[in-house]
Amino acid sequence: MNGYFEIVHKNEGTAITVFDKTYDGTDVKKEEIFDFLAKNNIKYDRISIEKAIKKSHGFPVIFTKEKINVIDESFSLNVSVDKLSAAIRFYPPSNGGRYINLNDVLFYLASKNIIYGVDDKAIEYFFRNRIYCTDIVVAFGKRPKEGKDEVVTFSFSTKKNTKPSLNKDGTVDYTNLGLINNCAKDELLCSIEKAVQGTDGMSIYGLEIKAKPVKSGIVKCGANTYMSDDGTKIFASENGHVFIDDGKITVSDVITLKKVDTSTGNIKYDGSVCVEGDVAASFKIEAGGNIVVKGTVEGAVLKSKGDIIIERGINGNGDAFIFAGGDVVTRFIENANISAKGSVNATSILHSNVKSGNEINVEGKRGYIVGGHVIAKNSITANIFGGEMGTTTIIEVGSDPVLKEKIREAMFELNDSNKKLKAILPTVNNITKKLAKGEPIDKIKAMHAQNLMNQKLKYEEIINEKSNLLMSLQDELGASKNAFAMAKNICNGGTTIIIGERSKRVEKPIKCAKFVMVDGQIKNE
Angstrom distance (rounded) from CA 239 to CA 220? 18
- Determine what percent of the chain is predicted with pLDDT higher than 70: 94
**Nearest partner of 159 among 179, 141, 139, judged by Cα:** 179
3-state secondary structure (DSSP) of residue 90: strand
3-state secondary structure (DSSP) of residue 418: helix
Q: Residue 179: count other Cβ atoms within 10 Å of its Cβ.
A: 18
Q: Average pLDDT in the 418-437 region?
A: 83
pLDDT reading at 171 higher than 70? no
Cα→Cα distances 152→122, 149, 181, 285, 448, Å: 46, 10, 17, 32, 61
- Determine what percent of the chain is predicted with pLDDT higher than 90: 61
Angstrom distance (rounded) from CA 104 to CA 107? 5
pLDDT reading at 431 higher than 60? yes
Sequence-distant (≥ 6) Cβ neighbours of residue 4 within 8 angstroms? 18, 19, 28, 91, 92, 132, 133, 134
Angle CA 196–198–203, to nearest 5: 175
**Nearest partner of 257 among 160, 156, 155, 185, judged by Cα:** 160
pLDDT, greater one: 83 or 500: 83
Angstrom distance (rounded) from CA 336 to CA 329? 14
pLDDT tens sequence across 155-165: 988 875 544 45
Q: Average pLDDT in the 42-70 region?
A: 87
Asked which of 212-226, 259-273, 396-410 is least confident by mean pLDDT, the reply is 396-410
Confidence class for position 404, pLDDT limits 50, 70, 90: confident
Instruction: State the chain's mean pLDDT as an integer.
Output: 89
Cα→Cα distances 5→15, 18, 21, 53, Å: 10, 4, 11, 9
For the chain, give every domain's residue range.
4-64, 74-140, 151-252, 403-477
Q: Average pLDDT in the 241-251 region?
A: 86
pLDDT tens sequence across 101-126: 999 999 999 999 999 999 999 999 99
DSSP class of residue 508 equals S
- H-type helices in 40-151, by residue range? 46-56, 102-111, 120-129
Confidence class for position 172, pLDDT limits 50, 70, 90: very low
User: Backbone phi, then psi, for 197, in 5-degree steps?
Assistant: -70, 145
pLDDT at 356: 93
Report for 226-230, 402-406, 435-439: range of highest mean pLDDT: 226-230
pLDDT at 174: 44
369-375 contacts at long range (C-beta below 8 A, 24 or more positions apart)? 369/393, 369/395, 374/349, 375/399, 375/401
DSSP strand pairing (368-376 vs 254-257): unpaired
DSSP 338-406: EEESS-EEESEEEEEEEEESSEEEE-SSS-EEEEEEEEESSEEEEEEES-TT---EEEEESS-HHHHHH
Confidence class for position 366, pLDDT limits 50, 70, 90: confident
Angstrom distance (rounded) from CA 472 to CA 407? 10
**Nearest partner of 200 among 131, 264, 146, 251, judged by Cα:** 146
Q: Average pLDDT in the 129-145 region?
A: 95
pLDDT, greater one: 229 or 24: 229
Residue type, 486: M
Angstrom distance (rounded) from CA 103 to CA 124? 10
- H-type helices in 63-204, by residue range? 102-111, 120-129
Angstrom distance (rounded) from CA 312 to CA 306? 19
pLDDT reading at 467 higher than 80? yes
Q: Average pLDDT in the 177-196 region?
A: 85
Length of the chain: 525
Confidence class for position 134, pLDDT limits 50, 70, 90: very high
Sequence-distant (≥ 6) Cβ neighbours of residue 287 within 8 angstroms? 267, 269, 270, 271, 272, 273, 303, 304, 305, 306
Torsion of CA 54, 60, 61, 63, to 10 degrees: 110
Q: Which helix (DSSP H) or strand (DSSP E) does residue 466 occupy?
A: helix 443-477
